Structure 1
Amino acid sequence: MTSSLNTIPEVLLHAAKHHAGRTAIEENGVCTDYQDLPHLVLAVTRSLMALGINKGDRVAIWAPNGRDWIIAALGIHCAGAVMVPINTRMKGGEAADILQRSGARVLFVQPSFLGVDYPALLAPHRPASLEHHVLLGQAWETFLALGAAVSESSAQARAADLQANDLSDLLFTSGTTGKPKGVMSAHGQTIRAFSEYVKVIGLQAGDRYLVINPFFHAFGYKAGWLTCLLAGATILPHPVFDAEAVFQRIAAERISVLPGPPTLYLSMLAHPKLAETDLSSLRIAVTGAATIPPILIERMRRELGFSVVTTAYGLTECGGLATICDPEDAAQTIAATSGRAIPGTEVSIRDPHNRELAAGGAGEICLRGFHVMQGYFEDPKATAEAIDSEGWLHTGDIGVLDAAGNLRITDRLKDMFIVGGFNCYPAEIEAGLIEHPAIAQVAVIGVPDERMGEVGCACVVLRHEQSLDEAGLILWAREHMANYKVPRMVRFYEALPVNASNKVAKNELRAGFV
């Protein structure tokens, strides 16, 4: 169906032609038909062209999930520009850093969301390289009026000029160095990977997909709304995760596709009105985590009525998708593994000397194939560290392949921990906390938490004659960094334990929490 499509604009035009009369996006009762989508998108493209945006220029989006986000993103793609999504939880300085390092010339930004004034947050840090910011909603018509100077046929020609290997997006992901790095992905590799995803999960035209995962993340963007365009499904954006609101929307809006973290399904199963609520529309669930009890998979099938339940594994550096379980697999396989490599790609488990291990051996998960990123933006050193001379992407995750080729993730080489679905990188958080005037040294570790899975704990050594308590540091951190990065616990030490190389022995710090 979509194998001949090479670019996201081609996917858009194909969907408009083949799914005319179906709803592409439904938000607050407003339905946007597939056949009307190209005209709306090209209006954005025309205005970007009027602002002088050329092929390869970077254009950023800083906004919650919504209809405007999708139309702006597709407008950027059709202009041949590279989309740079920004995490809505970031503070002004964090967003400015990504804008500056990506060289973004235009920013689409939500004026306010959940009481946060995004333009005001950015104003003190705004980089000189950012030429324009466009307020979604209130100033949208003013922006679109700029496009009157550019014909729709010119915008169509710009979109048609794109090739499969042209960059589509730059998703910033943190690494062990503490600074987020821009992952360069191309149109063709994204379409090929998520066409496979559509096949495996059985997504169909007319399915109603509630996209809870944030659009700034590959799960919400590529496995979310872009996947809907590939299949002709209806996108229902969900801006803030709230288990109760999601539960109510399923019945009211006849949701059939509901990917999310295991906590989403656990909260649904525990809902007091589960037995009396009509969840019969539900069909497809996709989840992922290091450990999922098999009973959860069985209960999702039996009590929530999902006929398709699967788990997947991916990271931004491979476009968000590397392996996926066959929904026909046993509950034990779906719960305990992340499935097999998608067609056209390989998974290899390798030892510290980069030698392949036999089935059953634990080592670093390495990936190779069409889906691997083109590299980190303007960072050849980090790219060379991540992708070896044979083309293997070293993920930093530890795993095991079974005899059938199913991948089981067992640990992380890097110190990363996951808070409520968000990857947290200690080096990045430590770089932020060390700016506190009372802190001499800090190490951040992930510790177990019953509700969130893991939370961050800051292990702190204070400067001489300085005082600081747990509540004070957490309050300071909330003002300076995205909420998911803020440590939930603080422990104070006279000195941090170190190993023979004089590096902080985080395993000793973690041992105190087991």
Structure 2
Amino acid sequence: MNNSIMNRDDESAWGAGRTPAATDATAAAAAAAARADAIDWTRETFASALTWIANAHATREAVVHGETRLTFAQLAQRIRAFARGLMSLGVAPGENVALWMSDSTEWLIARWAVPLVGAVLVPVNTRFRDSDVAYVLGQSEATTLIVQERGGGSSARGVRYFDILAQLDPEWTAQRRGAWQCERMPALRRVIGLPTERTLPGGMENFHAIEAHGKSCLNDGALERRFAQVKPDDVAQILYTSGTTSFPKGAMVRHGALLANNHYAAQCLRLTSQDRYLSCVPLFTATGTFYTLAMALSGAAMVIADQFSPQTFCECVERERITVSFFVDTIVQDLKAFPDIGKYDLSSLRTGTGAPLPTASFEWVSHTLNVPELVSAYGMSETSNAVVRTRWDDPYEKRARTNGRPVRGVKVRITDIETGKTLPAGSVGQICVSGYVVMKGYYRMPEEDRKAIDADGWLLTGDLGELDDDGYLTYRGRVKEMIKPGGFNVATQEIEVFLKTYPGVRQAVVVGVPDARLGEVGYAYIERQDGADISPFALQQYCREHIASYKVPRYVEFVDAWPLTGSQKIRKLELRDRAIRNLTPDGDAPPHTGADAGAHA
């Protein structure tokens, strides 16, 4: 393993944050963290990382799922066995292997084993159905599919995957092992099944049988010879974007980038082998796949819950003494509304991170839930996790109100949307990123590559942001979600965040609609909190009193539910189309229109 020291620039005091306490366990955890900090993870692969983790944290608990509890040594042994089994099936370096399973120990084993042998992991959304799955497996040219019979996690309660597979290929039970032929997924040759209720059909390999066979072959040296063929710059994973405005694109991310960026995430959270992480987001997501690495590299235990609910969260934190979790605003709102939250001992919680949270939600988690070292971040599938982060010891105001400074080895700049010129601090423009974290490209989409990455290697994120004088970034929404009333550029997220400060507003989404005079104005969709009585006029008046007139939504419509993607993101394009239809002469009854809302530029 390459143990060269990373260039820490102005961050030489990272180790100082891990002050050893009196206990031997704390001192050992701090020592292991310091050894991890001394490794240049950009030069490593999943194979070398697993070897280091298994040696450094052998006896520490690695994963908890139901009745299953494995140490890192035990988990590494199972990963190696399954990896060797994949080799026996003929899985070669560079092949794409799709993983379509709900959260489980087996998911985690496959997540590591696939890149271990030089193949490329393609996580598949467990909410997908036949059309979605056919697209991802077809576009990715996956040669192997790892699938369970029936779902059981938070993202797939009761879903029968084999039945969906039958929709894709009515002759699936007659397929031959290693020689699958399916018109909708032409590259597919092998299907590995994880049975729960019934016997696997003859053409499907058994997950546990592959693991058992691999275990019997571990001493033949073949796995180590394969490890030597895999390089840090090889693609380890293809992550498909959510596709809110187009077909999903598969971002190709590398071994070294994944390891280095997620080790940095562990540093920002001050993680050690004494931490315990509760996974609240599906593992197939970019976040899910990333934080499996951050936890393993720090020796932290990962606790997998079958499904998220406020009660399950509280029970798990209390029982497992969880110290770190992932928070998105949906989770925060559910926890805030849980009437029994005060009955549980949640005092073990120390830190966490998540998608950019509204300031009010960040404050609630920090102060009411009492998570003192909560941090923020901003990133995407295309960058192997975050490109900016706040650290556990950053000033509270920076952690609560910004997304952080660039991660080590990464540059971030803000550019004018139309000219591409770099903008000064305090200006809102497109976030552009360069450095080792930038993806290799989109799988089989060269035109999309040229749109996303310029000639100098800068990734044009399509996101809006603003850098302050201290170099901290604040995310302001999507470029395509920019509206331009009367010639003024306005990020819809800015309006959405403000609307959620009005009493009784649970969620707000703003889209742009055409206007004869101003060119474009805002159309706000509002979800009210239970029992809230909100007057559209009062809401618009509140806006007029506190924000620029051109930012005030011209229209307000109340909704009870949102159109969502498979990754549970709101489909803004669908909402915009609906708004435009509402405003046509033969459309539905128009929403409330403020007399002068947004009328003055």
Q: State the TM-score bracket (shorter-chain normalisation).
A: 0.7 to 0.9
Counterparts of 1:218-237 in structure 2, within 5 Å, are: 218-222=286-290, 224-237=291-304
Q: Is the 8 A contact 2:329 2:357 kept in 1?
A: no
Counterparts of 1:321-332 in structure 2, within 5 Å, are: 321-332=386-397
Which residue of the other structure, out of 337, 341, 352, is the alignment partner of 1:274? 341
Q: Is the 8 A contact 2:239 2:252 kept in 1?
A: yes
Which residue of the other structure, out of 428, 431, 449, is the alignment partner of 1:362? 428
In structure 2, the CA distance between the partners of 1:209 and 1:54, relative to structure 1 (3 Å rule), is same
Which runs of structure 1 show a deviation greater than 4 angstroms over 4 or more consecutive aligned residues?
A: 148-152, 174-177, 415-419, 480-497, 508-514
Tell me if 1:68 matches 2:106: yes
For 2:524 and 2:439, how far apart are their aligned partners in 1?
28
Counterparts of 1:220-369 in structure 2, within 5 Å, are: 220-222=288-290, 224-289=291-356, 291-293=358-360, 296-351=361-416, 352-369=418-435
Which residue of 1 is the match for residue 182 of structure 2?
Answer: none
What letter matches 2:70 in structure 1?
T
1:288 positional shift: 2.6
For 1:188 and 1:390, how far apart are their aligned partners in 2?
21
Which residue of 1 is the match for residue 174 of structure 2?
Answer: none
What letter matches 1:163 in structure 2?
K
Which residue of the other structure, out of 386, 393, 399, is the alignment partner of 2:465? 399
Question: What number of residue pairs does the alignment pair up?
Answer: 455
For 1:44 and 1:21, how far apart are their aligned partners in 2?
21
Q: Is the 8 A contact 1:283 1:307 kept in 2?
A: yes
Counterparts of 1:353-502 in structure 2, within 5 Å, are: 353-415=419-481, 447-450=525-528, 491=578
1:446 positional shift: 8.6
* 1:451-483: CA deviation from partner (whole Å, max 9, x where unpaired): 79xxxxxxxxxxxxxxxxxxxxx9xx99x9787
Q: Secondary structure of 1:203's match?
A: coil
In structure 2, the CA distance between the partners of 1:397 and 1:95, relative to structure 1 (3 Å rule), is same
For 1:344 and 1:482, how far apart are their aligned partners in 2?
29
For 1:239 and 1:218, how far apart are their aligned partners in 2?
18
Which residue of 2 is the match for residue 202 of structure 1?
Answer: 270
Q: What residue ranges of structure 2 are gaps of 5+ in the alignment? A: 1-34, 152-156, 170-184, 197-205, 483-491, 497-508, 512-522, 531-560, 585-589
**Could you tell me the TM-score, scaled by structure 1's length?**
0.80
Which residue of 1 is the match for residue 249 of structure 2?
Answer: 181
Tell me if 1:53 matches 2:91: yes
Tell me if 1:214 matches 2:267: no
What letter matches 1:220 in structure 2?
G
* 1:417-453: CA deviation from partner (whole Å, max 9, x where unpaired): 999xxxx9x9xxxxxxxxxxxxxxxxxx99443579x
Q: Secondary structure of 1:25's match?
A: strand
For 1:206 and 1:491, how far apart are their aligned partners in 2?
50
Q: Is the 8 A contact 1:62 1:85 kept in 2?
A: yes
1:412 positional shift: 1.2
1:362 positional shift: 1.0
Q: Secondary structure of 2:359's match?
A: coil
* 1:269-323: CA deviation from partner (whole Å, max 9, x where unpaired): 4433333321121111212326322xx4444333323231111000111112111
For 1:290 and 1:307, how far apart are their aligned partners in 2?
15
* 1:116-175: CA deviation from partner (whole Å, max 9, x where unpaired): 111211333251321122122544323335547854421232124321101110011145
For 2:302 and 2:83, how far apart are their aligned partners in 1?
21
1:493 positional shift: 6.9
* 1:200-236: CA deviation from partner (whole Å, max 9, x where unpaired): 11011021101112211221111x2111110001011
Further displaced range: 482-491 or 342-351: 482-491
For 1:332 and 1:86, how far apart are their aligned partners in 2?
37
For 2:376 and 2:318, how far apart are their aligned partners in 1?
24
For 2:428 and 2:575, how far apart are their aligned partners in 1?
31
What letter matches 1:16 in structure 2?
A
Q: Secondary structure of 2:277's match?
A: strand
What letter matches 1:164 in structure 2?
P
Which residue of 1 is the match for residue 556 of structure 2?
Answer: none
Q: Is the 8 A contact 1:176 1:414 kept in 2?
A: no
For 2:232 and 2:469, how far apart are their aligned partners in 1?
35
What letter matches 1:207 in structure 2?
D
Which residue of 2 is the match for residue 171 of structure 1?
Answer: 239
Which residue of 2 is the match for residue 88 of structure 1?
Answer: 126
Q: Is the 8 A contact 2:329 2:358 kept in 1?
A: no
Q: Is the 8 A contact 1:92 1:118 kept in 2?
A: no
* 1:324-362: CA deviation from partner (whole Å, max 9, x where unpaired): 112333433222210111011011000021110000111
1:393 positional shift: 0.6
Which residue of 1 is the match for residue 186 of structure 2?
Answer: 128
* 1:342-397: CA deviation from partner (whole Å, max 9, x where unpaired): 01101100002111000011111111111000111111111111011121111111
Q: Is the 8 A contact 1:297 1:331 kept in 2?
A: no
In structure 2, the CA distance between the partners of 1:206 and 1:160, relative to structure 1 (3 Å rule), is farther
Q: Is the 8 A contact 2:242 2:567 kept in 1?
A: no
What letter matches 1:237 in structure 2?
I
Identity %: 30
For 1:335 and 1:483, how far apart are their aligned partners in 2?
24
Which residue of the other structure, out of 91, 109, 117, is the alignment partner of 2:147? 109
Q: Secondary structure of 2:253's match?
A: strand
1:48 positional shift: 1.2
For 1:35 and 1:446, how far apart are their aligned partners in 2?
53
What letter matches 1:95 in structure 2?
V
1:42 positional shift: 1.7
What letter matches 2:472 in structure 1?
N
Q: Is the 8 A contact 2:363 2:400 kept in 1?
A: no
In structure 2, the CA distance between the partners of 1:276 and 1:24, relative to structure 1 (3 Å rule), is same
What letter matches 1:123 in structure 2?
A
**Could you tell me the TM-score, scaled by structure 2's length?**
0.69
For 1:511 and 1:414, how far apart are their aligned partners in 2?
24
Q: What residue ranges of structure 1 are gaps of 5+ in the alignment? A: 427-444, 453-473, 498-507
Further displaced range: 486-495 or 110-119: 486-495
For 2:447 and 2:592, how far apart are their aligned partners in 1?
31
Which residue of 2 is the match for residue 14 of structure 1?
Answer: 52
* 1:162-191: CA deviation from partner (whole Å, max 9, x where unpaired): 211011100111457611111110000111
Which residue of 1 is the match for residue 24 of structure 2?
Answer: none
